[in-house]
Amino acid sequence: MNSHKTTPAGKTRGRGLKLPFPGAPGEHNAITDVAGVEVGVTTLISGAGKLVVGAGPVRTGVTAILPRGRGKAQVPCAAGSYALNGNGEMTGTIWIEESGELQTPITITNTHSCGIARDATIEWLVRHGGGNVQDWGLPVAAETYDGDLNDINGFHVKAEHVIQALEGARGGPVEQGSVGGGTGMICYDFKGGNGTASRVVKVAGRNHTVGAFVQSNFGQRPECTILGVPAGRHLTGDELRGKPAGSIIVVIATDAPLEAHQLKRIARRVPIGLARTGGIGHNSSGDIFLAFSTANEAAFTAKRGELRRMEAVGTGDIDPLFEATIEATEEAIIDSMIANETMEGRDGNRSVALPHDQLIDVMKKYGRM
């Protein structure tokens, strides 16, 4: 399918280069293949040259993920989170750990805009929910650092940008690369940012979808591994960051009926997909993951005093969902680099795109094409 090979803007994805990713993707090979999930972005790009704090250059944005879409933003989902390394932020996870529920949209942005993303989400929920909104909220807002390219201390992400991303969230194909919160990010010293992928697997006789969304901003060039090939050792030069710094946020969605503790187990499998690409969880990296299930909607709309009745996948049947999580995470990270372009930011700092032709040559050398 075209959406497996290219993004809506026409950027080539890994499957467009004929990389042999394992597993069966969903319709769009995106987190939105999980029915109801919507993604929206606001991308902020302006200015060039020398950094002037407060003026730019600006290379940043915000991404919004709505687990049940805008029409059901007030309906919780079962959820679980996990941090491989905690030098980062994802708000709201203490309540998720306590309650086993994700009760808000998810936003992802740069480190110094995480607070405004959180607060603007509350504002949007109050406006959007009318009389149905609860009197308090603990939104999930996550971040990675884009200060190598962006005027991060200029605080260019405003509440209206967050609300724009929430209002613009849609299903279907998802744009990738340097958009939304991923605009100014760097991955393995290539231009990084947003990436997504999905898998369809059979669990206990039913087909279920697992979707991954990443904001990739981590790793050093020599670590970069693509389908087992040490590509980063061959594709050297123009490393902007060149040090073990950065972070990655990963959101996993599924329509499989899972309990909160099972979703924490799903989140714990994300690092395996990360490791397949070469990630090691550097000390200064915030590697934070969240998994949610859109199943059992009726249970989460039950009123106080009513018993919840929920389905759940049996413990012994969960392995296909683990495998799908690992595969979708790996492909999403790789696509965040492949479906991208070279970007110049503050002070002329230049983050180069992963070169497609050279990558294909390396993959052929190792017999992977």
The pLDDT tens digits for 123-141 are 999 888 655 556 678 999 9
Of residues 81, 285, 336, 351, which has the active-site annotation?
285
**Domains of the chain in sequence order:** 23-303+311-340 (3.60.70.12)
- Average model confidence (pLDDT) across the chain: 96
Q: What is the per-residue pLDDT for 134?
A: 64
Rounded to an integer, what distance in angstroms lies between the CA atom of residue 354 and that of residue 51?
Answer: 25
CA dihedral 103, 105, 110, 113 (to 10 degrees): -80
- CA 149 to CA 348: how far, in whole Å? 8
Contacts for 215 with CB less than 8 Å, ≥ 6 apart: 63, 108, 142, 144, 181, 182, 185, 193, 194, 248, 249, 336
β-partners of residue 215 are 194, 249
pLDDT, tens digit, 9 for 90 and up, residues 140-159: 999 999 999 999 999 999 99
Looking at 178, 216, 247, 336, which residue is catalytic? 247
Q: By the 8 A CB rule, do 151 and 157 touch? A: no
Given the residues 148, 189, 255, 287, the one annotated as active site: 287
Q: Model confidence over 178-222: pLDDT tens digits?
A: 999 999 999 999 999 999 999 999 999 999 999 999 999 999 999
| pLDDT digits 0-9 by tens, 305-364 | 889 899 999 999 999 999 999 999 999 999 999 999 999 999 999 999 999 999 999 999
287 is catalytic: yes
State the Rg of the chain over Cα: 19
**Distance, CA of 363 to CA of 369 (rounded, Å):** 6
Q: Is the pLDDT of residue 287 over 90?
A: yes
pLDDT number for residue 334 = 98
Could you report the per-residue pLDDT of 267-280, keeping only the tens digit for each? 999 999 999 999 99
Instruction: Tell me which DSSP letter residue 101 carries.
Output: E
Cα distances from 151 to residues 115, 147, 180, 216, 281, in angstroms, run: 17, 6, 15, 19, 26
